[in-house]
Amino acid sequence: MNFPSKLIEEAVIEISKLPGIGKKSALRMALHLLKRDESQTLLLADALTAMRTKTTYCKQCHNISDEELCLICSSPRRDTSVICIVEDTRDVLAIENTAQYRGLYHILGGIISPLMGIGPNDLHIESLIRRVEQNAEIQEIILALSPTMEGDTTAFYLQKKLKPFGKKISTIARGIPIGGDLEYADEVTLGRSIISRVSYE
Amino acid sequence: MNFPSKLIEEAVIEISKLPGIGKKSALRMALHLLKRDESQTLLLADALTAMRTKTTYCKQCHNISDEELCLICSSPRRDTSVICIVEDTRDVLAIENTAQYRGLYHILGGIISPLMGIGPNDLHIESLIRRVEQNAEIQEIILALSPTMEGDTTAFYLQKKLKPFGKKISTIARGIPIGGDLEYADEVTLGRSIISRVSYE
């Protein structure tokens, strides 16, 4: 593309490094910013800079945080007897949006994946074990990992590591999605939903 | 969404103001930047700020420019006898990418649209007329506006305004897109392609 201005070209190159953004969308965004008030671009640039330079990670759960302890870990209204183990921050947001969970989290920062060269030592597993060891009030650990090969491997590894502490260890239910059609469910999911059937009280 | 950090929330709000970006994509971009090196975010923020605060508009064609005259207007290799009139910068880029046009441009900054309250005085039409008046070397004016009601209205208005100068006035051809199938062409386009048929030399 022949850009009319070097400055736009540089902005487009930087914008198109974002995930899911190609050159055309980046150009559209650049032209949008040029049409809007200057303050809007400055707000965006400042927000990005502040986010990147000032956020840190919660020293307890490894979630992104503005302070030493994240808003969830420092909240007095959370149930400190349950820890939900997830891969990353996006999973925390997804679970928070369900409004069905009031416990704490522990972010692994990835999952065990021999193919990608990610082993247990690359994840926040050591700190999880220390956390479980040092906090007697923890009664249950929920594994909320993706139902993939890597997710299952990680869950298996964690179960083995956490077993000695004698806490209840559970995993989120796998089954037919709500609104899903039995006919179109894959056989593995359907089979699992029969094995993990729930009795009516 | 319950964000784990106020700073991320602010960044996501600013990012999601960009066209075509919702909250979920904005969050994905924010988390992407958090994972990458700090310098990448700073480069992006700086590029956006520089683009918005330092670019200006070419005093001749109104294209976005780093200098008083844009790269096209100041190029000695462009044909100064032809001006192509377009709606905005994106159209210039689209035409430049065809590599079929070596003349100059004039950016209207919009099209006449009574519904949106945009009249001829809101566009760079006055400066176009002065430009045609003052530059005797201009021999042809190409109208490259969208084939919509507003585009046609604008083209009609410009033809009337430019006629007194005795220059050749043309419009880009409307017809069947190359690679398009006759069977699926709409009747208006197909009809126009018959009226505007081109003889083999």
Q: Chain B contacts of A75, Cβ < 8 Å?
A: none
pLDDT at residue B94 greater than cutoff 80: yes
* Per-residue confidence (pLDDT) for residue A175, from 0 to 100: 85
- A122: which residues sit within 8 A by CB, 6+ positions away? A109, A110
Angstrom distance (rounded) from CA A171 to CA A141: 8
pLDDT in tens, A11-53: 999 999 999 999 989 999 999 999 899 999 999 999 999 999 9
Q: Do B28 and A6 touch (CB under 8 A)?
A: no
pLDDT at residue A3 greater than cutoff 90: no
pLDDT at residue A1 greater than cutoff 70: no
CA-nearest residue to A33 within chain B is B52
| Region label for B112, one of left (φ > 0), alpha (ψ between -120 and 50) or beta (otherwise) | beta
Angstrom distance (rounded) from CA A74 to CA B5: 12
Return the closest-CA partner of residue A110 out of A47, A154, A75, A142.
A154
Of B8, B19, B40, the CB nearest to A55: B8
Q: How close B186 comes to chain A (CA, Å)?
A: 27
Query: How far from the centroid of its chain's Cα atoms is residue A196's Cα?
Result: 25
Locate B115 and state its tokens.
């519904």
- Written as one letter, the residue type at A165 is F
Q: Do A17 and B55 touch (CB under 8 A)?
A: no
Q: Do B20 and A41 touch (CB under 8 A)?
A: no
pLDDT in tens, B102-129: 999 999 999 999 889 999 999 999 999 9
Query: Boundaries of CATH 3.40.1360.10 in chain B?
Result: 77-195
CA-nearest residue to B72 within chain A is A4
With respect to CATH, is domain A77-175 assigned 3.40.1360.10?
A: yes
Angstrom distance (rounded) from CA B179 to CA B31: 41
pLDDT at residue A191 greater than cutoff 90: no
- B1: which residues sit within 8 A by CB, 6+ positions away? A93, A96, A97, B9, B12, B23, B27
Looking up tokens 């993990």 gives: A196
CB pairs A-B closer than 8 Å? 184
Angstrom distance (rounded) from CA A67 to CA A60: 11
Q: Do A93 and B4 touch (CB under 8 A)?
A: yes
Among A49, A53, A87, the residue to mutate for chain B (most B Cβ within 10 A): A49
* Per-residue confidence (pLDDT) for residue B1, from 0 to 100: 64
Query: Boundaries of CATH 1.10.8.420 in chain B?
Result: 6-54
Q: Do B30 and A51 touch (CB under 8 A)?
A: yes
Exposure string of A53-63, with b = 16+ CB inside 10 Å and e = fewer, is eebebbebbbb
Of B40, B52, B88, the CB nearest to A33: B52
pLDDT at residue B163 greater than cutoff 90: yes
The pairing of strands B56-57 and B64-65 is antiparallel
Q: Chain A contacts of B89, Cβ < 8 Å?
A: 4, 31
CA-nearest residue to B109 within chain A is A35
pLDDT at residue B2 greater than cutoff 80: no
- Is residue B38 within 8 A of residue A52, CB to CB? The reply is yes
Q: How close B25 comes to chain A (CA, Å)?
A: 8
Q: Chain A contacts of B8, Cβ < 8 Å?
A: 51, 55, 64
Ranking A6-20, B41-55, B88-102 by mean pLDDT, the lowest is: B88-102
Query: B6-54, which class in CATH?
Result: mainly alpha
pLDDT in tens, A154-180: 999 999 999 999 999 999 988 888 887
Exposure string of B36-50, with b = 16+ CB inside 10 Å and e = fewer, is eeeebbeebbebbbb
pLDDT in tens, B3-47: 888 899 999 999 999 999 999 899 999 999 998 999 999 999 999
CATH number of B77-195: 3.40.1360.10
- Is residue B157 within 8 A of residue B149, CB to CB? The reply is no
Helix H or strand E encompassing B81: strand B79-86
Q: How close A17 comes to chain B (CA, Å)?
A: 9
Could you give the 3-state DSSP secondary structure of residue A168?
Answer: strand
Alpha-helix residue ranges (DSSP H) falling in B66-198: 89-98, 126-134, 149-162, 187-195
ipTM topping 0.90: no
Angstrom distance (rounded) from CA A98 to CA A81: 19
- A83: which residues sit within 8 A by CB, 6+ positions away? A103, A104, A105, A106, A128, A131, A132, A138, A140, A141, A142
Q: Do A14 and B93 touch (CB under 8 A)?
A: no
- B89: which residues sit within 8 A by CB, 6+ positions away? A4, A31, B63, B64, B107
Angstrom distance (rounded) from CA A24 to CA B44: 17
Query: Boundaries of CATH 3.40.1360.10 in chain A?
Result: 77-175
